[in-house]
């Protein structure tokens, strides 16, 4: 086997191994057999809600297992084709086989990411919050840049984006915002973006044109449906109303329609001002709170399984997941996975998929990358 062929075989095998590890392969096969048996049970649809959950799990698991088996078989066929060409001294056959392996390696990389989106809530819509860190206008401008970046990323995927909550900065930018991203696997992809994001640039707000470092945090959690029951004690809630401060609309700043809910045991705060009705904003905020509490439970379960816990931390030095450098050079570097882009303009316009794919893979392998984050 030629070197380029062997390299692609190793890429394919690495992708398949990652998916098998993520699925817990033997358990996944047993579970798929169980689900197939339940689908054959004529009493399944006596409980429509449970039946839909069974069918949803079966589809996801069947797709992931089927992808691994299909790619494995196609790789074996391509390897056999190359070996046959080598044995016969036919360079045309060898070239075709090597091209097939290269195309299959590309497909395996893409299908791997899809297979990794088989978590409990990965298929759901997502709430994405952006909060400016300390630093006034600089950080608030950076927070607005992040809001635009995630909106553009969502649009690239054909997702719909609603602005649920918005607090503008004093001079420019935003203090915070909450986006509702609607689309298949929106949470599965976006969940890897939670953390602190750092910007290094020559400030447009500094008359001396000095270099500034700004921080903003991103927090992502899944939208949950009625099938997921989250109990909340009303006595644990502090509910405030205030006037909306959105980017526009006739109802903005005219009535106390916006609602903020604080869950006092955890300190979680959610807010909604997207609707004219205080009642509807309250319902939206309660759904957001349930989603945040559910995401917290998911994170704790994942942490217990991996033996580590990454809590939400102060927005500042030492806690960032990604660094965006615009001056004195152009680079975006993920400090968890080591993925680098030398085109910040493209990244800030929503080109986030390579960062998300690497972060999803890292969640399975548990491997950390030592990255020097020089300015």
Which tokens hold the place of 326?
């615009």
Residues in the chain with pLDDT < 50? 248-253, 305-314, 316-317
For 135, list phi and psi in degrees, rounded to 5.
Answer: 125, 5
Provide the pLDDT for residue 204: 79
The pairing of beta strand 195-202 with beta strand 320-325: parallel
Provide the pLDDT for residue 226: 62
Distance (Å, whole) CA 13 – CA 336: 23
Q: What is the dihedral of CA 348, 353, 358, 361, to 10 degrees?
A: 140
Provide the pLDDT for residue 331: 95
Looking at domain 3-116, which CATH architecture does it have?
Up-down Bundle (1.20)
SS3 80: helix
Provide the pLDDT for residue 140: 92
Provide the pLDDT for residue 19: 85
- Residue 284 near residue 275, CB atoms below 8 Å: yes
- Residue 275 near residue 252, CB atoms below 8 Å: no
Q: What is the pTM for the complete model shown?
A: 0.72
First to last CA, the chain: 43
Residue 221 Rama label (left phi>0; alpha psi -120 to 50; beta): beta
Provide the pLDDT for residue 311: 41
Q: Which CATH class is domain 126-194+201-314+359-365?
A: alpha beta
Which residue is associated with the tokens 């300015």? 375
Provide the pLDDT for residue 227: 60
pLDDT digits (tens, 9 = 90+) for 56-110: 888 888 888 888 899 999 999 999 988 898 888 888 888 998 999 999 998 888 8
> Residue 238: in which H helix or E strand, if any?
strand 237-242
Break the chain into its structural domains and give their ranges: 3-116, 126-194+201-314+359-365
């Amino acid at each position: 086997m030629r070197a380029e062929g062997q390299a692609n075989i190793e890429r394919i095998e690495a992708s398949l191994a990652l998916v098998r590890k993520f699925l817990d392969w033997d358990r996944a096969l047993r579970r798929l057999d169980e689900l197939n048996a339940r689908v054959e049970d004529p009493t399944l649809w006596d409980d429509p809600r449970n039946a839909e959950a069974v069918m949803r799990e079966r589809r996801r698991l069947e797709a992931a297992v089927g992808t691994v088996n299909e790619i494995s078989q196609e790789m074996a066929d391509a390897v056999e084709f190359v070996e046959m060409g080598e044995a016969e001294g036919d360079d045309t056959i060898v070239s075709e086989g090597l091209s097939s392996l290269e195309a299959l390696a590309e497909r395996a990389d893409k299908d791997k990411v899809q297979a990794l989106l088989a978590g409990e809530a990965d298929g759901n819509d997502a709430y994405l919050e952006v909060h400016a860190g300390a630093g006034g206008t600089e950080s608030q401008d950076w927070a607005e840049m992040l809001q635009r970046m995630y909106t553009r990323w969502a649009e690239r995927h054909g997702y719909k984006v609603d602005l649920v909550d918005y607090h503008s900065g004093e001079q420019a930018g935003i203090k915070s915002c909450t986006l509702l991203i609607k689309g298949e696997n929106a949470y599965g992809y976006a969940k890897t973006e939670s953390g602190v994001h750092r910007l290094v640039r020559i400030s447009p707000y500094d008359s001396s044109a000095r270099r500034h470092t700004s921080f903003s945090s991103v927090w992502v959690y899944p939208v949950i449906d009625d099938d997921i029951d989250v109990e909340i004690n009303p006595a644990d809630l502090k509910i405030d109303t205030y006037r909306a401060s959105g980017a526009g609309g006739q109802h903005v700043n005219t009535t106390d329609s916006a609602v903020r809910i604080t869950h006092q045991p955890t300190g979680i705060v959610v807010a909604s001002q997207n609707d004219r009705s205080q009642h509807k904003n309250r319902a939206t905020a309660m759904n957001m709170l349930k989603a945040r509490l559910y995401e917290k439970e998911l994170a704790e379960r994942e942490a217990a399984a991996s033996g580590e816990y990454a809590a939400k931390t102060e927005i500042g030095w030492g806690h960032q997941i990604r660094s965006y450098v615009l001056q004195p050079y152009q680079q975006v570097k993920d400090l968890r996975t080591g993925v680098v882009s030398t085109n910040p303009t493209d990244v800030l316009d929503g080109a986030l998929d390579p960062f998300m794919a690497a972060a999803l893979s890292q969640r399975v392998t548990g491997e950390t990358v030592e990255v020097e984050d020089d300015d």
